[in-house]
Amino acid sequence: MSWEENIKKVIPYTPGEQPKIENIIKLNTNECPYPPAPEIKEKLEKFSYESLRLYPDPSASVLVNALSSYYNIAPEKIFVGVGSDDVLAMAFLTFFNSNKPILFPDITYSFYDVWAELFKIPYKKVPLNDDFEITIEDYFEENGGVIFPNPNAPTGLFMDLSMVEEIIKKNKDSVVIVDEAYIDFGGISAASLIDKYDNLLVVQTFSKSRAMAGMRIGYAFGSKKLIKYLQDAKFSFNSYTMNRTSLEFGVASLENVVYFQETCGKIISTRERVKKDLKNLGFTFPDSMSNFIFARHPEVPAVELFDALKKQGIFVRYFNAPRIDDYLRITIGTDKQMDIFMDFLKKYLQERL
C-alpha cells in the first residue's frame, strides 16, 4: 500500500505555448493583438498599492454592477470568476451532478473532458457533422447537462440563436451552458434567453475581445436561482477569487464602449481579409465568426506548416487529435502580423508545390 494509491490522478489540459522569446508573431492562443482599453493605464497609475493589504470585496460588486449596467442585466443574474475557465469549472462542479452523461461536441474546447474527469462526471462526446456543425437533434436525448461553445472552438463556427434555443427548449431537466468566449466577433449572444429559461447559463470572458487574458476575468449570466447555486459553491471553495486589480481594471475596460467596438471591428475586418487570402492559397476552413481561422491545405500537412512557421517565429496552434490533425488554428493578429504570416505561407507553398 502506497500513499500514491489515494491520489487523484488527472491528465491536465494543455494550454497553448507561451514562448519566452521576443519578437515572435503570436497567433496561437487567441489573444487580442491590440492593447486593452486606455482607461486601464490611467487606473494602473492611480492604483493604491497600499490597498493590497486588504482582502478584496468577496461579492465583487463594482465589477458585477458595471457588467449589470453594460448588459442591462440585474446583478443577481451575474456571476464573476477568475477567467471563464474558473466560471466554467465552478459550473461543472455545481450543475453536473447527475448519473446520466453530460453532452458536448467531439471537437470542442478541450477543457470540458478534463473537468468532467476531474469531477468524475460521466460524459459523452457528440460528433459534429462532416462540416463541423452541431446537429441539434443529437442533444435531445436524456442527459445530465449540456455544454458547447458558440461560436465553437477550434472550428470558429457560429450556430444560429434559434438553434441554440431549440437545444435549451428540449433540455428543461438539465442545465445548458453556452460558452461564449468568442461571441463579440460577430455572433449573437444567448444572454437574451436567460429570463425565458431558468436552466440556461451563458459564459463570457475578458480574455479575447477585451484584450485582458493576463487579468483573468470571466463572467456568467443566468437566472437568479442558477446564479445563487453558483455563488454557494464558489463561497464553499474560495471567497476571494477576484483580486483588487481585476475588479478595478475590469470596470475600466467596460467604461470605454467605443474602443471596445473599434477593436472588435478591426479584428473582424482583418479576419475577413485573411479568409480571402487563405482561400487564394488553396486553404479550406469553416466560416469563422471568432478571432481565429481553422484552416487546412489540401496538399501540405498541417504539422509541416506548423513547424515551418515556428522556425520563422510565427506561432499558430496545432492539435494532434482525431479529425482535426490536418488543421491549423490561426489567431487573427494585426494587419501587419497577418501580412508577414501570409507572405511566408505564400513563399513556402510556392517553393514546396
Ligand X SMILES: *Cc1c(COP(=O)(O)O)cnc(C)c1O
What residues numbered 296-325 form the site for ligand X, per CB under 6 A?
Answer: none
Residue 68 to residue 310: CA distance in whole angstroms:
42
Per-residue mark of binding to ligand X, 3-32 (x: CB under 6 A) = ---------------------------x--
CB of 266 to ligand X, least distance (A): 19
Phi and psi, residue 316, nearest 5°: -120, 180
Residue 126 forms beta bridges with which residues? 105
User: Which runs of E-coded beta strand occur in 106-175?
Assistant: 123-126, 145-149
Choose one: 35-43, 79-87, 306-314, 344-352; the region binding ligand X (CB under 6 A): 79-87
Q: Which of 14-22, 78-86, 243-251, 303-311 is the region at the interface with ligand X (rule: CB under 6 A)?
A: 78-86
Residue number, 208 or 297, with CB nearest to ligand X: 208
Q: Residue 208 CB, nearest distance to ligand X (Å)?
A: 6
Which residues lie below 8 Å from residue 6, measured CB to CB, with a gap of 6+? Answer: none
Site string for ligand X, 159-188 (x = CB under 6 A): --------------------x-x-------
Q: Quick one: which of 36, 56, 83, 250 contacts ligand X (CB under 6 A)?
A: 83
Residue 74's Cβ-side half-sphere holds a number of Cα atoms within 13 Å equal to 10
Q: In the complex, what is the shortest distance from the CB of residue 291 to ligand X, in angstroms, rounded to a whole number?
A: 10
Residue 63, sorted as left (phi over 0), alpha (psi -120 to 50) or beta, turns out to be alpha
Of 84, 209, 253, 288, the residue at the interface with ligand X (CB under 6 A) is 84
The one-letter amino acid code at 82 reads V
Binding mask 94-133 for ligand X (x = CB under 6 A): ---------------x------------------------
| 99 exposure class (CB count in 10 Å sphere: 0-12, 13-18, 19+) | exposed
Q: Which is nearer to ligand X, 161 or 342 (CB)?
A: 161
246 binds ligand X (CB under 6 A): no
CA-CA distances (angstroms) from residue 297 to 2, 280, 285, 319?
50, 11, 9, 15
CB of 83 to ligand X, least distance (A): 3
Q: How many residues bind ligand X (CB under 6 A)?
A: 13
Near ligand X by CB under 6 A: residue from 24, 62, 118, 213: 213
Name the residue whose CB lies closest to ligand X. 83
Question: Which residues contact residue 339 at a Cβ distance below 8 angstroms, ignoring those fewer than 6 apart?
Answer: none
9 — phi, psi (to 5°)?
-105, 125
Give me the least distance between CB of 213 and ligand X, in Å please: 5
HSE toward the beta carbon, residue 192, CA cutoff 13 A: 7
Residue 218 phi/psi, 5° resolution?
-130, 165
- What's the closest the beta carbon of residue 155 comes to ligand X, in angstroms? 11
Return residues touching ligand X (CB under 6 A).
Answer: 30, 83-85, 109, 149, 153, 179, 181, 205, 207, 213, 218
